[in-house]
Structure 1
């Protein structure tokens, strides 16, 4: 019995240390999270200029699985001056025999909360998707679109879609300040802590293949070179070239 109690105490200590380590790395605490949640409910904290701007943006069109809503949100600096420095997306296209690989990624810039974890990096990629397609519209750009949104600050979300001959691939990814990150791609859930790079290969029978890659720490400066190296690896070439028959 004493041994079981000692083991339980040890587990509690390990979990406690892990939570404290994450908080210290992010310069973030449970009290800050509660403060944010209270501000969401408190109209005196809302940024009405940003809210009016969001309402006046009108219909942005199809940008992925969810329509873009205009919600009142707290002023970003209430969580600390410099707590938000920006975010963005970066992508490219790569030829592969009779197909094209389309890549998109979302990143968060270094701010007061994540600077300890990012160290010398100016930003961090929290999601990357690479999709093989046989259809590219370089003129109208209506076969693929994406958007990355800061309105959940200090959590961030990006989404998009790409249409192929037989499929439409919808994707959404988000990262919390506690450094939890997840993606949903056509209803499949990916825990991005086990790999932020997701490969999707649509098949002729309209099914999908996926492959999750444990990529290194990536930034907006390194993502393109990393992608070029990745897609030339034999296992990646084989993944995209092997196609189920109808």
Structure 2
């Protein structure tokens, strides 16, 4: 429990740090930055290499945070070490959730970005679910804004007989991927991924073009998941973990 609380604290600290930067450096970005061309992405990469453009205050803060909580950062699939970046104006989101009906339990997480720094609207880029049937399934997620304009995240799901490590990357040009236990998903073909752990420690999966972005209420998205005929077949499978 202590570890979970520390992870929650770190996630909040990182997100709050990002929002502080948004307020102080809002003039850094140009108005049409949502339209990222290859040249603009290349220019951004070059800016990261220029130490005169680094956000040094943020870099020092990240070093201090890492030194305090390095064991937590090391527990993720990829160790999150501090690194310098150019100033940016970006806010990211990680929302854990549960879908439950009778004895069926899905644990999941939504990864996204805020429409703009002042907005309360989140645009989901990944919805990852795992059929666990375990209310106490351990799930930890770290979403990262430092790679702006790329959205990155990683996490861990621990089920009764296995562990699922995942890493996510979304590019502003529309290309995004999820790698989970070495299975690669190209999310251009569906941003909702469902994992079905099996008793023999293998897993099956579905990829859906459904997204919480398509619904005003997330509860409506949950209903769509539970009523999907393909998902229903996986739910009743005798080979899934109990």
Question: What is the number of equivalent residue pairs in this alignment?
Answer: 205
Task: Quote the Cα distance in structure 1 between the aligned partners of 2:33 and 2:43.
Answer: 19
What does the per-residue CA deviation read over 1:98-154, in whole Å, with 9 as the maximum and x for residues that have no partner? 442101110111249xxxxxxx9933111011101144438xxxx211011001011
Three-state SS of the structure 2 residue aligned to 1:104 is strand
Instruction: Tell me which residue corresponds to 2:187.
Output: 192
Match of 1:73 among 85, 94, 99: 85
Task: Quote the Cα distance in structure 2 between the aligned partners of 1:196 and 1:225.
Answer: 17
Match of 1:225 among 196, 201, 220: 220
What does the per-residue CA deviation read over 1:186-233, in whole Å, with 9 as the maximum and x for residues that have no partner? 100000000000000100111101111111461796444312331233
Q: Is the 8 A contact 2:111 2:127 kept in 1?
A: yes
Cα root mean square deviation, aligned: 2.7
Q: Does 1:214 align with 2:209?
A: yes
Task: Quote the Cα distance in structure 1 between the aligned partners of 2:98 and 2:209.
Answer: 21
Task: Quote the Cα distance in structure 2 between the aligned partners of 1:125 and 1:162.
Answer: 20
Task: Quote the Cα distance in structure 2 between the aligned partners of 1:211 and 1:48.
Answer: 43
Task: Quote the Cα distance in structure 2 between the aligned partners of 1:169 and 1:200.
Answer: 9
Per-residue deviation, 1:67: 1.3
Gaps of 5+ in 1: 1-23, 77-83, 113-119
Alpha-carbon spacing, 1:214–1:63, altered in 2? closer, same or farther (3 Å): farther
Match of 2:145 among 150, 168, 174: 150
Task: Quote the Cα distance in structure 1 between the aligned partners of 2:240 and 2:216.
Answer: 39
What does the per-residue CA deviation read over 1:10-46, in whole Å, with 9 as the maximum and x for residues that have no partner? xxxxxxxxxxxxxx99422233112111111111111
Q: Does 1:132 align with 2:140?
A: no
Alpha-carbon spacing, 1:88–1:216, altered in 2? closer, same or farther (3 Å): closer
Q: TM-score, normalized by length of structure 1?
A: 0.74
Instruction: Tell me which residue corresponds to 2:20.
Output: none
Task: Quote the Cα distance in structure 2 between the aligned partners of 1:154 and 1:93.
Answer: 29
Per-residue deviation, 1:159: 1.1
Gaps of 5+ in 2: 1-31
Match of 1:30 among 25, 30, 38: 38
